[in-house]
Structure 1
C-alpha cells in the first residue's frame, strides 16, 4: 500500500486561534470555562476539552451568571451577545476573522437596503450567526433549486454572501444561477469561502487523481470535512470521512491501494498520525507527503487573552496547519 499525505490539511488559522483561546482561558480563569456550541466541529477536540474542564452549552441560559464564556470559531448572532451581557458573563470572542468578515458584510448590505441571499447550510452554527445579524434582510439558499424558488420583490437591491466552509464548486454553481436569474446582484468585495477550505479542496482535487481511495479525517458535523469527502466521490474515488482509525475497517481497503489522506480544517494532526500508523501496521504501507500549496496565515488571539499569552511566554502547542 502507498499513502499520499495531502498538504495542506488539518487545522486552519481560525481553528488554531480558537483552540489556543480555550487552552489559555482554562489556564487563566480555571475550569469551568463555558463554550457556546462546540469550539470547533471535531469530536476529538471537543472531548479533550471536556476532560480539561470546558463545558459546551447550546443556550446562554445554561451558563451561571458572571461565568467565563467563550464564543466558538463559528461566530454568534447579536442576540446571543446581548443574552451574555444580560447574564453578566465574561465573554471571550474566538470567532474566526473570516466569519466576522461575512457578518460585517451582512450588516453593511442590510443598512444599505439590500436583500441578502446567503448561500449556506440551514442549521449550521455559522449560518445561524450570520443570519442573526440581519434576520429581516437575509434569505438562505442551499442549492440551485433554492435559487429558482426565491421570491423577492420587484426592483429590490440584491447581494449574495456565502458560508465560509462551502464546496467552492457548489458555491460557484449557485452563484452562477443567482447571476443568471438576477443579473444585477451584488457580490462581496472579496469572496467569502475561506482560504483554508479552498486550499484543502484544491489538494484533494489534484492529488486524488492518482489515488484509489481517499480518507478524510474529520467529524460528521464538520461542513468542510463533508465537502472534502463529497469532492473525492465526485472524482469517482472511494472516500471515507472518519474521526480516526477506529471508524475504518480493514475490509474497506485492498493491500495494493493508493490511499490519499487529508484532514478537515478542525481535525488535529494526532488523528492523522494515528490513522497512518494503523495503515502502516495493517498493510505495511509506505508514506509520502505531497504539497499542493503552502500556508502561513495566523490570526491574533482575542484581546482579553493576549496579555496573558505574553506572560506565559509561548502559546500552547495544539497542532499544526500543514
Structure 2
C-alpha cells in the first residue's frame, strides 16, 4: 500500500447501543443472579468500546493493524472499527503558517529580511503519516528552504546603475513572485501529501545593516527621475514660449537675447526654490 485508501467503517450508534445493553445488562444480571457468566458479558462489552471512533467535520482517522495500513476514515460521524486497530487522528482543515523572518541574499547579493504566509492542508493522509517523519515540521522546514531559494532568484528592486532590466522583482512583482513560491512549495510538499492553497510574501525589507544606505539610494533614484521629468517639461515649455513669441511677433530676439531668455527660463522652471525676480526698468540691452 503506497497510497491513501478510504475505509467505510461500521455504524457506531448500533455498536454503542450493543455496548450499553451488554455492559449494564451483564452488571445487573451478575448482581441479581450472582452468575459468573455475566462477567464474560462485561469483558465483551469492554472489548467493543475501544472500537468506537468519532470523526469530526474535516477530520480523519488513519487505521493500522499491527503496523499494516488498513485505510482512512474520512466520513463524519460515530463509527466502529476493529478494536485492535491503531487510530491516528489527522486534521484535514486548512491551516495557516507564518514563517519567521529570514535573512537571505537576493539575486544581486543584497541581504534582505523576508517571511511568507502559507495556507495549506493535508490532502493524502497516507503520505502525511508514513512518507515523512513529521509532516507539520516538514512543512516548516521546506517553506523556509523555498523562501531562501526564491529570494536568490530575483532582485529586491531594479536600479538603473546596476545595468539590470528585470521584469520581476521581489518588491514590485507580488503576483508573479507568489505564483513562483506556490509552485516551488507544491513540488516540495507533494511528497508529504500536502496541498498548498496559497503562499504570499508576508514581510519584505532590506536587512538592517544596509537599510539606511539602500533608502538613500532609492531616494537618489527618485530625485534623478523627478529632475529628468522636470527638465523634459521645462524644455518643452521654453520651446513653446519661443515658438509663440515668433509666431505673434511680440518681440524680435537676436541669438544672444534668445540664449539669455532660454537660460533664465530654464533656471526658473528647473529650480527647486521659488525664483526671485529682478525688475529691469531700462532697455533690453541693460
Instruction: Please indicate, yes or no, whether the TM-score normalized by the shorter chain is above 0.5.
Output: no
Tell which structure's C-alpha radius of gyration is larger: 2
Structure with greater contact order relative to length (CA < 8 Å, sep ≥ 6): 1
TM-score category of the 2 structures, normalised to the smaller one:
under 0.3
Structure with the largest fraction of helix: 2
